[in-house]
Amino acid sequence: MKIKLILPVIIPAFIIFFSCSKELAVAIIVEDNIDQTVKNNFIADLNKIDSAIKIKEPGINKIYDKDIKIYLVSSFSENRFFSTSSQARKPDNLDQIAEHNIIIDEKFYAPSSIFFDSALSASYNDIIENKYKIKPLDEISLPEKAIAVEGLYPDDHNYPLKVKTEAIFVNYKNKGKKSEKIEKIILSLEEIANVNLVQEKITWISFTGDIMPGRGVSRLLSSDNGLKKVFNDTLEILQKSDIAIGNLEGAVTNKSEKLEKSFNFKFDPSVLVYLKEAGFKYLYVTNNHSFDYGEEGFIDTLLNFKKANIATSGAGADITEAIAP
């Protein structure tokens, strides 16, 4: 009798757990008019925040209706007169379907003209008719100059040629953990934007020619409303400037011993108080009248400048001081 022995075969079972979370894919849809540097910086920021994000771009990847989308859109602050280029990639109802907006870049533009053009401002019609080339303000340099728009300058709150670029998030809500992840990414992007979006500071510098507050001008300055009497309608321009620069033709001294020459100019130190009040923060003394009252008068001038907190350069009590910036 044969006995069949059936031995149980035990096959070890390995249970492999795969992550149930799918890769987070985000479609970046960029308008044709977007500065490529802005786009590249935005994508780089996304990758720094979460290197696992899969970024999809139209024309490179298949974009589905269900995908989370970020539209990068630029617009001028005054759209009645200035339109950006092709808007074909932006849906007409973007304002309605947008779930979150972040301003990621702001840039000033200005009409550009040759430096010796007498025009100081362009009209809206000038720009619409392409009389002037519109360029980023930080790219305009000599022999070109930037001019105003309808008398408005970039630091005026209603200046029309300020371009704002926004990242507009669409279709990311109500997606569970994906939504939570996008919300964290948005917070990080907003922190980056707050650091990067430092308002461009426009520095106004005014230059004048020779200043010679002698022959009764110093007395006029010290009279009632003296600054207005002397500087007239230039006073407001000087006082609003960040830096006003002039060439002071004479010595600021009470010394009486003067050099032998046809004309000698000197001013009481009190005149610097009025010039400072007029807006002057820097005065040249590298001219043919700074030594009218000799070396002592010249040294007095430098000391009085320091007392009045008015800067100068190219001159000093010795060569080291004279060549210092």
pLDDT tens digits, 216-251: 898 999 999 999 999 999 999 999 999 999 999 999
**Residue 31: inside a domain, yes or no?**
yes
What's the rounded mean pLDDT across residues 190-194?
Answer: 92
Q: What is the pLDDT of residue 89?
A: 61
Which sign, positive or negative, has the C-alpha torsion 147, 149, 152, 153? negative
* Res. 200 pLDDT band, cuts 50 70 90: low
pLDDT reported for residue 22: 57
Percentage of the chain beyond pLDDT 90 is 57
pLDDT, tens only, 6-32 = 444 443 443 333 333 456 889 998 887
* 14 domain residue, yes or no: no
- Ranked by mean pLDDT, which of 2-11, 33-42, 59-68 comes out on top? 33-42
pLDDT surpassing 90 at residue 197: no
pLDDT of residue 1: 46
Q: Give the residue from 140, 167, 196 where a domain finishes.
A: 196
| pLDDT tens digits, one per residue of 95-110 | 888 999 999 998 899 9
Range of the domain at 297: 205-323
- Does one domain contain both 213 and 101? no
Does one domain contain both 174 and 210? no
pLDDT at 24: 82
Residue-wise burial string across 274-301, b where 16 or more C-beta atoms lie within 10 A, e elsewhere: bbeebbbbebbbeeebbbbbeeebbebb
Domain membership of residue 88 (yes or no) is yes
Residues 146, 295, single domain; the answer is no
Which pLDDT value is given to residue 215?
A: 85
In a domain, 5, yes or no: no
Q: How far apart are CA 265 and CA 249, in angstroms?
A: 7
Find, among 229, 297, 222, 309, the residue nearest to 265 by Cα: 297
Domain check: are 295 and 215 in the same one?
yes
Phi, psi of 284 (to 5 degrees): -75, 145
- Domain's final residue, options 155, 172, 196: 196
Q: Is the pLDDT of residue 322 over 70?
A: yes
133 inside domain: yes
Same domain, 152 and 236: no
Question: In this predicted structure, what is the pLDDT of residue 21?
Answer: 45
* In a shared domain, residues 164 and 230: no
Q: Average of pLDDT values for 137-150?
A: 94
Task: Name the CA radius of gyration of the chain, rounded.
Answer: 34
Judge contact between 246 and 280, C-beta under 8 A.
yes
- Number of domains the chain is built from: 2
- Domain boundary among the residues 163, 196, 229 is at 196
The answer to whether the peptide bond before residue 269 is cis (omega within 30 degrees of 0) is no
Residue 194 pLDDT more than 70? yes
Mean pLDDT of 48-57: 88
Predicted confidence at residue 307, as pLDDT, reads 95
Whether 223 and 160 share a structural domain: no
Number of H helices, E strands in the chain: 10, 14
Answer yes or no: is pLDDT of 268 > 90.
yes
pLDDT for res 25: 85
Q: So what's the pLDDT on residue 16? A: 36
Instruction: Specify the CATH number for the domain of residue 189.
Output: 3.40.190
**Whole-number pLDDT of residue 147:** 95
Answer whether residue 174 is part of any domain.
Answer: yes
Task: Determine the pLDDT at residue 117.
Answer: 93
Mean pLDDT, to the nearest integer, of 31-46? 89
